Amino acid sequence: MRVITTIKEMKEFIREKKQQQVSIGFVPTMGYLHDGHIQLIRSARAENDIVVISIFVNPLQFGPDEDFDIYPRDLERDKKIAASEGVDVIFHPSTEEMYPGKLSVKVIVQERVNVLCGESRPGHFDGVATVLTKLFNIVEPDRVYMGMKDAQQVAVVEGLVADFNFPLELIPVDTVREEDGLAKSSRNVHLSEKERQQAPYLYKSLLEAKKLLMEGERDEKRIISHMKQFIEENTDGNIDYIEIYSFPGLEKMDKLEGKIIIALAVKFSKARLIDNIVITLS
């Protein structure tokens, strides 16, 4: 496995591989790899000749009061995991390598962004779309693997790929969870012991909502207020949002039907956790 830190070397590697007509699977990450990332890597490994992952904590997608400085990083650990999963290349550029000066152009996301995390993290998805535009141009992947844990990111990137005609296929991968249901996340290390005990109630609240829907409940307000009460009774977290939209359009619905997403974000003392489920209603 190679670790490449410069764009020039990465492009040379890709040019050589393209000449050999091999397929390239790409998994963009911010590192501190866990089973969620590993699931994406395994999917990429199964479907491509070469697997490239990027490890880059992208400052552009963090707000001024967010956790960029304390975001967990451990390249040595990540290298061992990636090598054991058959990754061919880790692309690990510095911030200066990716952003040597002030950007003269950045990508602005206009749709699917005024809800959920887009609303509470202004500029976040512009940062994601900008770094992915750069990474797609550098890595030239045939297939890109992204987790449904960040379902809004999948919806936004679907738009980016379609609008900017990137010649790649975006492949969403189901959320990987701990045994107690908590969605795996690099940020879980920032939960206190007590918060870690409480955190599975986020997923449980989504299952509560699913149960209500399966029983025929279609009143969005009632479902959300049940979830809110459930989370407030079982955790000390502060609810940032609990919302229901169509998926992947992320539009408000007059009537709950078809493919919908129930998504939430809850702030604990040092970690803001997100989770969601996508359900198809008849």
**Least separation in angstroms between CB 171 and ligand AMP:** 10
Length of the chain: 282
Q: Which is nearer to ligand AMP, 183 or 224 (CB)?
A: 183
Contacts of 263 (CB under 8 A, 6+ apart): 116, 151, 152, 241, 242, 243, 244, 245, 274, 275, 276
Give the neighbor-by-neighbor strand order of the sheet with 258-267.
238-246, 258-267, 272-281
Contact between 186 and ligand AMP by CB under 6 A: the answer reads yes
Q: Which residues pair with 130 in a beta bridge?
A: none
Tokens of 205: 């609240």
Among the listed residues 149, 190, 226, 272, the single contact to ligand AMP using CB under 6 A? 149
Q: Which is nearer to ligand AMP, 62 or 226 (CB)?
A: 62
Contact between 184 and ligand AMP by CB under 6 A: the answer reads yes
Scanning 13-21, 31-39, 84-92, 251-259 for contacts with ligand AMP by CB under 6 A, the matching segment is 31-39
Range 233-252, binding ligand AMP (CB under 6 A): none
3-class secondary structure, 256: coil
Contact between 30 and ligand AMP by CB under 6 A: the answer reads yes
Sign of the CA dihedral running 178, 180, 183, 188: negative
Tokens of 206: 């989504």
Q: How far apart are CA 226 and CA 228, in angstroms?
A: 5
Contact 164, 133 (CB under 8 A): yes
Scanning 18-26, 181-189, 191-199, 207-215 for contacts with ligand AMP by CB under 6 A, the matching segment is 181-189
> Which of the residues are catalytic?
37
Among the listed residues 40, 115, 132, 244, the single contact to ligand AMP using CB under 6 A? 40
The residues that touch ligand AMP, with contacts defined as CB under 6 A, are 29-30, 36-37, 39-40, 146-147, 149-150, 173, 175-176, 183-186
